[in-house]
């Protein structure tokens, strides 16, 4: 798929729960939760600086390509996923989000621009930004992804 994308200039709409594959294939990523885009950014930006609690939780679940690497989990999402046919009145993640407050439960947040190509739908994205998400080795995963995207070849095993 990467070779076709490179050689033919083809665009894909690729839908997956596997963010490691999404990272390999995508230039731009939209994160959906219960049918709503909660965050959208260039792939590199979203993986390096996720600003929505759901994006952070998803990234923490990515399997890294080395058994000794482990991504730190800055946010744990617990609780039940609401029924898509009976959503709560405010933010759909409020029942699972550690930052949820009364405002979150009252009204769904609008998408706001947090960068030239980065939009997020969360009242407290600044609190997510303040989390320490640097204590892991995800940069190596990103470096391998970049190599694959730039040459369309397999992963390098060099460190």
51 binds ligand SF4 (CB under 6 A): no
How would you list the strands of the sheet with 112-115, edge to edge? Answer: 28-33, 36-42, 118-120, 112-115
Stretch that binds ligand SF4, among 18-26, 80-88, 96-104, 148-156 (CB under 6 A): 96-104
97 binds ligand SF4 (CB under 6 A): yes
Output the CA torsion sign for 93, 96, 97, 100: positive
CA neighbours within 13 Å on the CB side: how many for 106? 4
Alpha helices in the chain (DSSP H): 2-8, 19-25, 43-48, 53-60, 102-106, 125-129, 138-151
| Interface pick for ligand SF4 out of 5, 20, 73, 99 (rule CB under 6 A) | 99
Nearest distance in Å: CB 102, ligand SF4: 10
91 binds ligand SF4 (CB under 6 A): yes
Residue with Cβ nearer ligand SF4 (13 or 130) = 130
Closest Cα partner for 140 from 56, 71, 46, 49? 71
Nearest distance in Å: CB 101, ligand SF4: 7
| Interface pick for ligand SF4 out of 109, 119, 133, 144 (rule CB under 6 A) | 109
56 binds ligand SF4 (CB under 6 A): no
100 binds ligand SF4 (CB under 6 A): yes
């Amino acid at each position: 798929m990467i070779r076709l994308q490179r050689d033919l200039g083809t665009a894909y709409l690729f839908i997956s729960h596997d963010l490691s594959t999404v990272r390999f294939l995508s230039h731009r990523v939209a994160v959906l939760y219960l049918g709503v885009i909660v965050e959208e950014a260039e792939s590199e930006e979203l993986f390096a600086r996720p600003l929505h609690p759901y994006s952070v939780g998803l990234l923490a679940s990515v399997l890294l390509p080395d058994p000794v690497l482990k991504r730190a989990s800055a946010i744990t999402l617990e609780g039940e996923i609401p029924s898509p046919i009976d959503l709560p009145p405010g933010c759909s993640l409020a029942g699972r989000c550690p930052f949820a407050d009364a405002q979150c439960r009252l009204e769904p947040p609008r998408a706001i621009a947090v960068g030239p190509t980065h939009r997020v739908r969360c009242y407290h994205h600044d609190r997510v930004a303040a989390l320490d998400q640097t204590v892991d080795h995800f940069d190596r995963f990103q470096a391998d992804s970049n190599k694959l995207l730039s040459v369309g070849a397999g992963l390098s095993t060099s460190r």
